[in-house]
A and B are shown apart, each in its own frame.
Chain A
Amino acid sequence: MNKNNFIQGYCRIKDNTVLKNEELLFSEDTSTLNEFLKLAYQHFKTDYSKFFKMDRLSKLGFLCADVLLNSLKENNLFQENTAIVLANKSASLDTDRKYQKSIEDADNYFPSPAVFVYTLPNICMGEISIRHKLYSENSFFIFDAFNADYLWEYTNSLLQNKKADSVLCGWVDVDEDSYEAFLYVVSANGNLNHTKEEITRLYFTNE
């Protein structure tokens, strides 16, 4: 019943670096997250003009997922029925604040529809779904801190109940100056055991 699952790969974006499976792919000292993400986008030859319309949370999650899923695609490991399970602490607060400011100013009241669209954290999953044509199940949770136990349990239940063949899961958070993305893909095959301990180890290893 409790079949073992495996972590096929992971990607982490934090402190101006992009790391995939322990390998440092890109690092550049920049003063802002937007600037860093733009340079990373160029470095990975992402070629997806809608990227520049996204808010910071979506850009971060999108780029992290893109690095990870593209590497799976190159190795013929990508599975179409990939569910997405993301979590964070700040929901879409980063963009909520930006929108909030635009409606507070009565003398200069021109709130932007393009900003409002991103005032929901799950839009980030929508962007990943659109890019990789994922029509699969997805859910976004708010926790106080990275919660390996919960992600582990939820992912296993999706795989066991055949809701998906693989699951892209992890943590994507942006709040003012702090940001962090840690995504990994779980499926029936892979190199790393999908255990709570392993998820926690990977999450903390490169801190």
Chain B
Amino acid sequence: MGRGVAITGMGIISAIGNNVQENLRSLTSNKIGISKITQIKTIHEDEIMVGEIEDTNPVLEKKLGIEANQWSRTVLIGSIAAKEALESAEITDINEVSTGFISGTTVGGMDKSEQYFYDYEKNPGIRQHITGLHAGDSTNKIAKYLGLEKGFVTTISTACSSAANAIMLGARMIKSGQLDRVIVGGTDSLSKFTINGFKTLMILSDTYSTPFDDNRKGLNLGEAAAYLVLESDAMVQKKQKKVLGYVKGYGNANDAYHQTASSENGDGAVLAMQKALKVAGLLPESIDYLNAHGTATPNNDLSEGRALLRIFKDGVPEFSSTKSFTGHTLAAAGGVEAVYSVLALQNNLIFPNLNFQTPMKEFDLTPITETKEKPLQTVLSNSFGFGGNCSTLIFSKEA
């Protein structure tokens, strides 16, 4: 089957670190990013725990060297992570070759809209945030910050699989020669909107989330931005680029079951994993580590667990949900976990699924609960979204 698409750079900002190195350090030292919420005032502050990025907006603005209060937090963190990704790929002139930027988001500029909803009329000084509510606007602003002048820019909005789908689309566009390189991933900041929304769905845990545990109570929301730089073989050769890993396989399928709930046996998840394995030309047994979607909601972990058993039978690979560190970062999750998958490959490490105690009644599946060293060739990462949108990515050390 086809060769993988080279990953030459990555960047991330999350509740467990402001860059790739900090995230790796937290992952290997069990430093959890979940806490009480501090940066948003919400009536739910005593009932929920979240994965908040430490820096406040003014700190982020200073780091980016931009004017105060012009951008939503989604754009700020997106710019930080995308900039790190470009730097790590040692790209100095972004317009030198045909370059794309594909970003997933669901929240967009919602944080600013809710902050100023009632003030737009009397305060012209904040009206820059009105257009910021369009999801596409955040992507355009980040592209502009990166200096991307005429490249292909688009926003994907498929809920919690958005970033995974952005990576899939980017890999395809590289393979088909439409782009020489592309920055792919996603960004979502915390907002009252999503906090209240998930609260009304009654799937927020009031304590640390416990993915794949029988007593799981729901998810912790988180915020993050994470991007990969993908480049064509020709670019890698021409510039003698250091390759961090490869996007080897990808698949997307619809669960066709319910607006938000996953089907009982994970039909969409099974199809997505099958498609990704096929594109990668790999058999299930060659997956060395599986970074699960693992949101810690009763519904997801049961459905995903059953899907894993359908694909891998009695050979389910060692797996964990790193959402126990970061919270569920919605549209960014697929990007965050892509970065963690590459870190796993680079360091031959499996990151733990924190807070796990009791295996689920329905099946015999136990995640990895302590950092484990193991030679890794391939990592599979799942991201499933509302609307039944299921995506699987496979990363590999070799093309």
A residues neighboring B (CB under 8 Å): 84, 89-93, 96, 99-100, 103-104, 106, 109, 111-113, 116-127, 129-130, 133-144, 150, 153, 157, 161, 163
Q: A140 to chain B: which residues have CB within 8 Å?
A: 156-158
Q: Is there a chain A Cβ closer than 8 Å to B379's Cβ?
A: no
Q: Is there a chain A Cβ closer than 8 Å to B117's Cβ?
A: yes
| Contact A129 to B256, CB < 8 A, known contacts A96-B193, A112-B200 | yes
B114:A122 contact, CB within 8 angstroms: no
Q: Is there a chain A Cβ closer than 8 Å to B154's Cβ?
A: yes
Q: A130 to chain B: which residues have CB within 8 Å?
A: 256-258, 388
A129:B176 contact, CB within 8 angstroms: no
A122:B157 contact, CB within 8 angstroms: yes
| Contact A120 to B159, CB < 8 A, known contacts A89-B136, A129-B254, A136-B253 | yes
* Chain B interface extent, by class: 35 or more
Q: A112 to chain B: which residues have CB within 8 Å?
A: 200
Q: B252 to chain A: which residues have CB within 8 Å?
A: 137-139
Give the number of residue pairs across the A-B interface with Cβ within 8 Å. 141
Interface residues of B in 256-275 (CB under 8 A from A): 256-260, 267-268, 271, 275
Contact of A142 (CB < 8 Å), options: B154, B259, B388: B154
B386:A139 contact, CB within 8 angstroms: no
A135:B268 contact, CB within 8 angstroms: yes
CA distance A90 to B254 in the complex (A): 23
B386:A91 contact, CB within 8 angstroms: no
| Contact A120 to B154, CB < 8 A, known contacts A100-B117, A125-B387 | no
Q: Is there a chain A Cβ closer than 8 Å to B169's Cβ?
A: yes
A99:B193 contact, CB within 8 angstroms: yes
Q: Is there a chain A Cβ closer than 8 Å to B113's Cβ?
A: yes
Contact of B135 (CB < 8 Å), options: A84, A91, A126, A137: A91
Q: A135 to chain B: which residues have CB within 8 Å?
A: 253-256, 267-268, 271
0/1 per residue, B158-202, Cβ < 8 Å to A? 110000010001001000101000000000000011001100111
B residues neighboring A (CB under 8 Å): 43, 106, 108, 110, 113-114, 117-118, 133-136, 139, 154-159, 165, 169, 172, 176, 178, 192-193, 196-197, 200-202, 251-260, 267-268, 271, 275, 385-389
| Contact A139 to B156, CB < 8 A, known contacts A120-B387, A130-B256 | yes
Q: B114 to chain A: which residues have CB within 8 Å?
A: 100, 103-104
CA distance A141 to B134 in the complex (A): 12
A136:B134 contact, CB within 8 angstroms: no
Q: B257 to chain A: which residues have CB within 8 Å?
A: 130
CA distance A84 to B201 in the complex (A): 27
B134:A122 contact, CB within 8 angstroms: no
Q: List 30 A-B contacts (CB under 8 A).
A: A89-B136, A90-B134, A91-B108, A93-B133, A96-B133, A99-B196, A100-B193, A109-B43, A113-B201, A113-B202, A116-B196, A119-B193, A120-B157, A122-B389, A123-B159, A124-B387, A125-B158, A126-B256, A126-B386, A126-B389, A127-B259, A129-B256, A130-B257, A135-B255, A135-B267, A137-B252, A138-B252, A139-B158, A142-B136, A144-B136
Closest to B330 in A: A120
Q: B193 to chain A: which residues have CB within 8 Å?
A: 96, 99-100, 103, 119
Q: B267 to chain A: which residues have CB within 8 Å?
A: 135
Contact of A119 (CB < 8 Å), options: B197, B202, B253, B275: B197
| Contact A141 to B154, CB < 8 A, known contacts A96-B193, A120-B159 | yes
B254:A123 contact, CB within 8 angstroms: no
